[in-house]
């Protein structure tokens, strides 16, 4: 209905077919023919050609009002796109498990919002399965996780690598048998557990101690089970939890031993009550990625967020 509206609007502005034709760089007969086609399509006249200068008819007045509304919408959308590309507006939705939401993302989000204060960031905290559902549906732009997602469906961006370690309450008597393997939280922060010279502890030293593990289906639990199998250990599991941070906090109160990521140990509050041990297994190493859905349009905000994230200390890159 509004195809060719620029012709109508130019004649309305100039109140002359000849001046409008000059401005549009077309001949006057071509302009007149185009406007007559529009009028025929509408079933009414837009201009009163009997008056001099040319005037709008009643229908023409309403048509021009509609053109101006359309032009206003187009201009506002162009401004929106310009602001979007310049990161002056927009939103970003990120999903994470408790550990990453609590200890990793705050620093990244703070850097991002300081640089781009007009971008609204939404953080969703949930388990891996729920986060993947939301990522697949498009409700989330990114998910940060150490659980591997299907690379045929999701694109991944490496954030950091992490390593599982044994965390033991200091008062456990089994620590006396493992003195040569002991590491402090400062040792973990300095990456001593990653050095080849650091000896891994035999888990058999802790077979009589209680353990806290995550529930089945969690990546940490799957790796923990494989580690126990490798060393021929059947741990005394007294509690199963959903979140690694919760398991660590309970362990810090002296209830049981747990296996945690060095990411959590390095970022969590200091605990003088814990001793740490290197574990000898390939299952202790895993990568942390930001995932987005394949073929999803990558906004400028998403691009910038990943750049900032990958330049933020996540740990061992």
Three-state DSSP state, 19: helix
Give the predicted TM-score (pTM) of the model.
0.76
Dihedral sign (CA 192, 262, 212, 218): negative
Instruction: List phi, psi (to 5°) of 142.
Output: -135, 150
Q: Whole-angstrom Cα distance, residue 244 to residue 254? A: 16
Structural domains in the chain plus CATH codes: 5-76 (1.10.10.10), 91-159+287-310 (3.40.190.10), 162-286 (3.40.190.10)
Average pLDDT, the chain: 92
Question: Is 135 in contact with 291 (CB distance < 8 Å)?
Answer: yes
Task: List, as one string, the DSSP characters of 87-145.
Answer: TSS-EEEEEE-HHHHHHTHHHHHHHHHHH-TTSEEEEEE--HHHHHHHHHHTS-SEEEE
Looking at the DSSP bridge assignments, the partners of residue 165 are 260
Tens-level pLDDT at each residue, the chain (317 residues): 788 889 989 999 889 999 999 999 999 999 999 999 999 999 999 999 888 899 999 999 999 999 889 988 987 888 788 778 888 888 899 999 999 999 999 999 999 999 999 999 999 998 888 899 999 988 899 999 998 999 999 999 999 999 999 999 999 999 999 999 999 999 999 999 999 999 999 999 999 999 999 999 889 999 999 999 999 999 999 999 999 999 999 999 999 999 999 999 999 876 779 999 999 999 999 999 999 999 888 889 999 999 999 998 765 43
Which of 49, 41, 39 is closest to 15 using CA atoms? 49
CA 309, distance to chain mean position in Å, is 10
C-alpha distances out from residue 208 to 54, 77, 102, Å? 99, 67, 33
Question: Is 267 in contact with 103 (CB distance < 8 Å)?
Answer: yes
Which of 246, 243, 224 is closest to 235 using CA atoms? 224
> What are the pLDDT digits (tens) for 98-147?
999 999 999 999 999 999 999 999 999 988 888 999 999 888 999 999 98
């Amino acid at each position: 209905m509004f195809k060719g509206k620029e012709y109508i609007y130019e004649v309305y502005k100039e109140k002359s077919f000849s001046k409008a034709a000059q401005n549009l760089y077309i001949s006057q007969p071509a302009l007149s023919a185009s406007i007559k086609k529009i009028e025929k399509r509408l079933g009414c006249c837009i201009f009163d050609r009997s008056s001099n200068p040319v005037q709008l008819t009643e229908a023409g007045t309403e048509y021009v009002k509609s053109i101006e509304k359309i032009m206003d919408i187009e201009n506002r959308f162009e401004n929106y796109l310009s602001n979007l590309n310049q990161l002056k507006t927009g939103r970003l939705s990120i999903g994470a498990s408790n550990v990453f939401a609590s200890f990793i993302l705050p620093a990244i989000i703070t850097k991002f919002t300081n640089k781009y204060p007009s971008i609204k960031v939404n953080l969703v905290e949930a388990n891996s399965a729920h986060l993947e559902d939301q990522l697949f549906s498009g409700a989330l732009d990114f998910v940060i996780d150490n659980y591997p997602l299907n690379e045929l469906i999701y694109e991944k961006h490496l954030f950091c690598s992490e390593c599982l370690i044994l965390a033991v309450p200091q008062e456990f008597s089994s620590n006396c048998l493992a003195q040569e393997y002991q590491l402090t939280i400062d040792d973990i922060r300095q990456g001593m557990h990653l050095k080849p010279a650091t000896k891994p502890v035999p888990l058999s030293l802790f077979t009589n101690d209680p353990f806290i593990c995550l529930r089945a289906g969690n990546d940490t639990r799957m790796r923990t089970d494989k580690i126990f199998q490798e060393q021929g250990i059947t741990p005394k599991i007294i509690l199963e939890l959903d979140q690694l941070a919760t398991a660590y906090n309970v362990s810090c109160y002296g209830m049981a031993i747990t296996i945690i990521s060095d990411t959590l140990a390095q970022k969590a509050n200091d605990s003088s009550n814990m001793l740490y041990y290197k574990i000898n297994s390939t299952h202790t190493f895993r990568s942390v990625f930001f995932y987005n859905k394949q073929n999803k349009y990558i906004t400028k905000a998403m691009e910038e967020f990943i750049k900032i994230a990958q330049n933020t200390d996540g740990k061992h890159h």
